[in-house]
Each structure stands twice: as structure tokens, then as C-alpha cells.
Amino acid sequence: MGALSEKTAEPTSGPASRTGLSGGRLTGRTALVTGGSRGIGRGIAERLGRDGARVAVHYGSNEAAAKETVAAIEGAGGSAFAIGAELGVPGDAAALWEAFDAHADGLDILVNNAGIGTSHPFADTDEAEYDRLFAVNAKAPFFVTRLGTARLRDGGRVINISSGASHAAMLPDIMTYAMTKGALDVFTRNLSKVLGPRGITVNAVAPGIVDTDVNAAWLRGEENKDAWAGAAAMSALGRVGTAQDIADVVAFLASPDGRWVTGQWIDATGGSLA
């Protein structure tokens, strides 16, 4: 196989104007984090902002949360903007990119983080729920990425947020959710071959149980006092993961240091699958 040219083997610097934190590893690059207003997505957006990227913080419905994330990034000396688009509906990817194009003229890092989950067991999952989960968690990342490749510069990054549940029957009651993440994993491996000639890496990062507002009700709820201890016990490190734990893994893959890692499923469960 022929070697990639120097131009495509390394991430490009993007627009000539420098944005984000001066001297950061991602200075001059533009990132988009879907579902970047809350939880893991917010952690990722803030970390990429600290590393110097100009960050597009996508939200589906909670504009206030997205603006809070933008303010946090700017308060730390970074640069960011919010864009809204509901995912899982017809025309979602086109609407997202139309909003993005109003603020930026190209992209270096795409993080497909937005997703929805379910706690309904197999016997109680109906077609509407099944279709909704696949529409948001699998179909939307596919088409967001497909339309985004025209904007993604050579040497860029695509990072999909998967789940430890796609590789192990950790929680059978979230079977349908796990199936959507399995589809995302297949997408990741194959897309790495499609975009590889342009020097674009494609990887999936798989969190385990993470302490976010989405999980707060059952992790910290009075009616389930043993949930936190049980979740911590699943990890080889004996604790519940944080959004920052996941964001740091994403930051590595987004950085120049991650240039030789592609087509991979990165276990970020804290050893829960060990």
C-alpha cells in the first residue's frame, strides 16, 4: 500500500485565523459535538475547547443548556457557538449542517455523541420505541457524517460515542439501545476504510456507567440506594465514571497524538468488561 502524502497524514490546521486557546493542541481547528449541551457531550465540548478548538455545541431541544456550555468554554478562554437541530426526524442532518454553516466554513473534528437510551426490557419494547432509538442513535450519526464529509478537512477526525453495552450483555434490559450502538460500531470500522485515504481517522469510544444528569435518578435515587455502589463495583477501578474520563479519551483521539489509531472500538468503561 502506498504511503499517504504528508498533507493528508497529519491533521490540517484549518482556517488561517486562529481560534480557541492560544497554543492549544487543537488551535486553529473546528469541532462539532452532537448532544454537546449536557452530560458526556458537554464534557467533551469543554475539553476540546480547552485544547484550543472552536467548538460547535449541538443541542436537540435544550438551548439554554447549550448556551451554558458555550459560556463555560468561553469563560475558560475558548471559542464556541451553539447550533440546534432535532435528530431522529426527516431532514435532521441537513438542518444540522445548515445551522453549522452559518458559523463556520469547514470542520476538523466530528464527535457523534447525541443519543437516547431506554430501560424497557425486551418483552415491553414496542415498534415505536425501537424505531426511535435507531433513528437517533444509528441513522442520525450515519447521515450527519455522510453530509459532513464534504466539510471535513483532510487529516480530520470522526469519533463516535458507543457503549460498553454493545460488547457485553451488561444490562439485558437495554438490549435495543445496545443494538443501536452495535450498529454504530460497524459503521465506525467500515467508515475508517472509506475515509482513510484522506488521512481521516474514525474511532468509537465506549463508556460504561457514567455519572451524568441522565443517570442521576437511578444512580443517586433514594428508591435505589445500592445503585451507586453496584455501578462502582462493576469497574475494575472501583468507581463510577465521569464525563471528564470519557472526554480525555476523546481528546487523545482528536489530537495529533491519535493520528495512527483508526477503525478501533476504545473501551472506556473503567475495566467493567475485564
- Residues taking part in catalysis: 162-163, 177, 181
- Cα atoms found within 13 Å of the Cα of residue 104, Cβ hemisphere only: 32
SS3 268: strand
111-142: string of b/e by CB count within 10 Å (b at 16+)?
A: bbbbbbbbebeeeebeeeeeebbbbbbbbbbe
| Complete DSSP assignment for 174-237 | GHHHHHHHHHHHHHHHHHHHHHGGGT-EEEEEEE-SB-STTTHHHHH-GGGTTHHHHHHHHSTT
